[in-house]
């Protein structure tokens, strides 16, 4: 019996060693696939990178970096599965500020702003001086209708890293608070930082229109359209601002173009008949003997 026990013990040790070797082999395989995926992503070989990260996770389902990298790629593709991988990364490594931030970003992108608040709070706790975290916190607050908090978060982000995107988002928050002069200042700062930022031109125009500075607003909308002629929101805003300025014929042309680009545009469908009626009434008045007399 002692000899049998020795044989059994040796067999048990061999089994454990075999299991360890399998685990080590899988871990090494996962690491190789991960490194390959990172190199492929850096080279722009996205499909190959996805396949490599998936292979890494087949070998090691708890490899946080693979979940994080795969989640980022899926987020760039606006794939809802991004949140699943990023959620796993957070569950496996809750103190990872990057994973928390990327999870929040994916939730916001998929319209789940309320759910994004928890990982954002964790990311802020873990990395309080992260400008991107402050920016996303502001974007989430704005999405949830809290413009005051959004402005505070975005001002903090701007102090950390002034960028065109942060200026534009802060301007949006200030416009929601009807602080239009300040908003226009930030939109103009965004344009100065990034001269091809068409959203900032449109937003600056909207702020100026709210201040009743219509000629300036028309100029900003026009500049947006020079950079992107198919920008429907800027074209509608230009049309309505021209209408407010009494330029009915020009406004009609812009509204017709809006409906050519987007036939179901609700505001343009409502405004165009009003403008056509106004134009017809003006023409009738001008052609009548009374209207044409000195």
pLDDT band for position 291 (cuts 50, 70, 90): low
Of 203, 200, 177, 179, nearest to 190 by C-alpha is 200
- Does 31 fall in a domain? no
**Which of 76-80, 113-117, 281-285 is predicted with the least confidence, judged by mean pLDDT?**
281-285
- Same structural domain for residues 219 and 266? yes
Q: What is the pLDDT of residues 123-140, one digit of tens each?
A: 999 999 999 999 999 999
- Residue 59 contacts by C-beta under 8 Å, 6 or more apart in sequence? 26, 27, 29, 30, 33
Q: Positive or negative, the Cα torsion across 258, 264, 268, 274? A: positive
- Alpha carbons within 13 angstroms on the beta-carbon side of residue 130 total 18
**Which of 5-14, 90-99, 284-293 is predicted with the least confidence, judged by mean pLDDT?**
5-14
Higher pLDDT, 121 or 2: 121
Task: Extract the tokens encoding 51.
Answer: 């396949």
Task: Extract the tokens encoding 215.
Answer: 């000629």
Q: What is the pLDDT of residues 236-257, one digit of tens each?
A: 999 999 999 999 999 999 999 9
- Does 4 fall in a domain? no
Separation CA 138–CA 134 (nearest Å): 6
Q: What is the pLDDT of residue 29?
A: 87
- Does 135 fall in a domain? yes
Total count of domains within the chain? 3
Q: What is the pLDDT of residues 209-234, one digit of tens each?
A: 999 999 999 999 999 999 999 999 99
The average confidence (pLDDT) of the chain is 90
Q: What is the pLDDT of residue 284?
A: 84
Give mean pLDDT, residues 176-194: 98
CB atoms within 10 A of CB 256: 15
pLDDT band for position 22 (cuts 50, 70, 90): very low
- Does 253 fall in a domain? yes
Q: Which of 143, 167, 190 is the last residue of a domain?
A: 190
Higher pLDDT, 49 or 285: 49
For residue 59, give the H/E element and its range.
helix 46-59
Structural domain span for residue 83: 62-92+99-109+117-126
Percent of the chain with pLDDT over 70: 89
- Same structural domain for residues 142 and 121? no
Separation CA 52–CA 34 (nearest Å): 6
140 DSSP assignment: H
Q: Positive or negative, the Cα torsion across 148, 149, 155, 158? A: negative
Over the Cα atoms of the chain, what is R_g? Answer: 29
Give mean pLDDT, residues 83-92: 94
- 20 burial level (CB within 10 Å; 0-12, 13-18, 19+): exposed
- Tokens 């056509």 sit at which residue? 276
User: Within its chain, how far is the Cα of 136 from the centroid?
Assistant: 9
- Does 268 fall in a domain? yes
Q: Which of 190, 223, 242 is the last residue of a domain?
A: 190
- Does 10 fall in a domain? no
Q: In this structure, what is the dihedral angle of CA atoms 86, 91, 97, 99, given to the nearest 10 degrees?
A: -10
- Does 168 fall in a domain? yes
Higher pLDDT, 20 or 212: 212
- Does 166 fall in a domain? yes
Question: Over 70: is that where the pLDDT of 26 sits?
Answer: no
- Tokens 């965004």 sit at which residue? 190
Q: Which of 152, 170, 190 is the last residue of a domain?
A: 190
Task: Extract the tokens encoding 177.
Answer: 């608070």
Q: What is the CATH number of the domain that holds 207?
A: 1.25.40.10
């Amino acid at each position: 019996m002692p000899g049998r026990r020795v044989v059994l013990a040796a067999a048990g040790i061999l089994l454990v060693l075999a299991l360890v070797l399998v685990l080590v082999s899988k871990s090494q395989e996962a690491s190789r696939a991960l490194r390959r995926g990172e190199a492929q992503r850096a080279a722009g070989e996205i499909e190959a990178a996805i396949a490599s990260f998936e292979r890494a996770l087949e070998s090691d389902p708890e490899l946080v970096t693979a979940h994080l990298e795969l989640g980022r790629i899926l987020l760039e593709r606006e794939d809802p599965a991004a949140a699943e991988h990023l959620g796993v990364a957070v569950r496996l490594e809750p103190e990872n500020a990057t994973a928390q931030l990327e999870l929040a970003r994916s939730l916001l992108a998929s319209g789940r702003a309320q759910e994004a608040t928890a990982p954002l709070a964790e990311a802020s706790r873990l990395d309080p001086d992260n400008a991107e975290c402050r920016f996303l916190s502001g974007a989430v607050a704005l999405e949830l209708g809290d413009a005051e908090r959004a402005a505070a978060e975005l001002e903090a982000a701007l102090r950390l890293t002034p960028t065109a995107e942060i200026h534009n988002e802060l301007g949006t928050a200030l416009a929601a608070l009807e602080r239009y002069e300040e908003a226009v200042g930030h939109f103009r700062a965004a344009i100065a930082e990034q001269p091809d930022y068409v959203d900032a031109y449109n937003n600056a125009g909207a702020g100026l229109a709210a201040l009743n500075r219509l000629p300036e607003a028309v100029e900003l909308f026009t500049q947006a359209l020079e950079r992107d002629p198919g920008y429907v929101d800027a074209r509608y805003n230009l049309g309505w601002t021209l209408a407010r300025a009494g330029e009915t014929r020009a406004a009609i042309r812009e509204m017709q173009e809006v409906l050519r680009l987007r036939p179901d545009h609700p505001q343009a469908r409502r405004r165009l008949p009003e403008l056509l009626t106004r134009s017809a009434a003006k023409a009738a008045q001008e052609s009548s003997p009374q209207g044409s007399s000195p």
